[in-house]
């Protein structure tokens, strides 16, 4: 049996009739761009989070780019974030002309070590960009304290944390704005690229709406700062609106899979995911750790079980960001983790039989190391 780290086909079969009806509904509606379905999804996603505003965009990267611009971040500014994230987090900072400034992470959760923020804040710092990594939230209470002390905006990167909570508060509701990706692998995934930015501030919402549509408020007239063509399309909006009604079911399934992994892999020598106090984890990824990581990946691949590393190369070590002047050793916790972490198969339709095969293979390989 071939087992992939992520697979959408079983979910599609289960939801196929609804997905195809969503597509047909849009195609028969007579409107394909920025119509009723986008508005309906924006309203539903905002309501899920208990905020007044949601702006659908074309992908998660632009959700970050537009979020930063709407918060006034631009050339000459600095944005504090982490390097153990998908490159788009940092690409977005670069895209608005700002400079990413990295802090290290906690060795158990791999989340931003917010206690290090004061060490890097300068007069150029404009924004804090915490990444709610792998499905659980950064310590936003402490982070908000630093933001208040230094007068900084907060943009949450929620690409991996749909439905995650900290002390009961949903990811995305604890900053000035929050960016979401609906890339197909995400907890709430589309069938292609899509994203959204949410906010409780009317002025930020208005800026986001202009920026996603070239800077226009009225058709063909650029009112203020030129923006982008970053519109969420009607088809993905309707698919996402329908899938949003099943989000809590997806979360229940992911947590059940995580619990089975925890039970089946105890005592193997793998470092299993740590849950930060106050967090409700949604397990976008189930990330484990072992010093013989690459050997384990090779051995499981030979058994037709595909695992993944998120992320093997911290952003500050990539050649594309060499201009930032970082060296190996600048973020020791991040760098050590990158050498050892890997992700196990995790998606709601992963069967118990498939998961048992993964656990059995891991136990056999680890016992032989």
**pLDDT tens-digit series, residues 226-260:** 888 999 999 999 999 999 999 999 999 999 999 99
Q: What integer is the mean pLDDT of 334-361?
A: 98
pLDDT of residue 223: 76
pLDDT of residue 142: 98
> For the chain, where do the domains classified as CATH 3.90.1150.10 start and end?
247-368
All CATH 3.40.640.10 domain ranges of the chain, comma separated, are: 9-244
Was domain 247-368 assigned CATH 3.65.10.10? no
Q: How confident is the model at residue 182 (pLDDT cuts 50, 70, 90)?
A: very high
Secondary structure of the chain in HEC code, one letter for each residue:
CCECCCCCHHHHHHHHHHHHHHHHHHHCCCCCECCHHHHHHHHHHHHHHCCCEEEEECCHHHHHHHHHHHCCCCCCCEEEECCCCCHHHHHHHHHCCCEEEECCECCCCCCECHHHHHHHCCCCEEEECCECCCCCCCCHHHHHHHHHHHCCEEEEECCCCCCCEECCEECCCCCCEEEEECCCCCCCCCCCCCEEEEECCHHHHHHHHHHCECCEEECCEECCCCCCECECEHHHHHHHHHHHCCHHHHHHHHHHHHHHHHHHHCCCCCECCCCCCCEECCCCCEEEECCCHHHHHHHHHHCCECCECCCCCCHHHCHHHHHHCCCCCCCHHHHHHHCCEEEECCCCCCCHHHHHHHHHHHHHHHHHC
41, 238 Cβ separation under 8 angstroms: yes
pLDDT of 188 > 80? The answer is yes
Q: What is the pLDDT of residue 87?
A: 97
Lookup: tokens for 348: 């709601």
pLDDT for 216 equals 87
CATH topology of domain 9-244: 3.40.640
**pLDDT tier, 29 (very low <50, low <70, confident <90, very high otherwise):** very high
pLDDT at 220: 81
Q: Which two tokens stand for residue 153?
A: 């905006």
Q: Which pLDDT belongs to residue 225?
A: 83
CB count within 10 Å of CB 94 equals 17
Reported as a pLDDT band with limits 50, 70 and 90, residue 222 is: confident
Average pLDDT for 93-117: 98
């Amino acid at each position: 049996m071939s087992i992939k780290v992520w697979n959408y086909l079983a979910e599609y079969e289960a939801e196929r009739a609804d997905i195809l009806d969503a597509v047909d509904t849009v195609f028969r509606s007579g409107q394909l761009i920025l119509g009723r379905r986008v508005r309906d999804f924006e309203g539903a996603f905002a309501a899920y989070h208990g905020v007044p505003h949601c702006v659908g965009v074309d992908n998660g990267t632009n959700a970050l780019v537009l979020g930063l611009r709407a918060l006034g971040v631009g050339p000459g500014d600095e944005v504090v974030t982490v390097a153990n994230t998908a490159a788009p987090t940092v690409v977005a900072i670069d895209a608005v002309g700002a400079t990413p400034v990295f802090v290290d992470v906690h060795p158990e959760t791999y989340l931003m070590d917010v206690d290090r923020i004061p060490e890097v804040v300068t007069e150029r710092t404009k924004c804090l960009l915490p990444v709610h990594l792998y499905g659980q939230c950064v310590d936003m209470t402490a982070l908000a304290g630093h933001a208040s002390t230094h007068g900084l905006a907060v943009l949450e990167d929620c690409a991996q944390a749909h439905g995650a909570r900290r002390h009961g508060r949903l990811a995305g509701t604890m900053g000035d704005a929050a960016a979401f990706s609906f890339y197909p692998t995400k907890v709430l995934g589309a069938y292609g690229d899509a994203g959204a930015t949410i906010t409780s501030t009317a002025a930020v919402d208005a800026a986001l709406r202009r920026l996603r549509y070239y800077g226009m408020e009225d058709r063909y007239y650029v009112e203020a700062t030129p923006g982008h063509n970053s519109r969420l399309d009607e088809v993905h909006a309707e698919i996402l609106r329908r899938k949003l009604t099943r989000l809590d079911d997806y979360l229940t399934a992911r947590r059940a899979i995580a619990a089975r992994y925890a039970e089946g892999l105890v005592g193997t020598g793998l470092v299993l995911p740590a849950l930060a106090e106050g967090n409700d984890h949604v397990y976008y990824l189930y990330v484990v750790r072992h010093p013989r990581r690459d050997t384990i990946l090779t051995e499981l691949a030979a058994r037709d079980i595909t695992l993944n590393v998120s992320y093997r190369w911290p952003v500050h070590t990539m050649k594309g960001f060499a201009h930032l002047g970082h060296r190996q050793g600048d973020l020791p916790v991040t760098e050590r983790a990158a050498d050892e972490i890997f992700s196990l198969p995790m998606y709601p339709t992963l069967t118990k039989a498939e998961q048992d095969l993964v656990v059995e293979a891991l136990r056999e390989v680890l016992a032989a190391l």
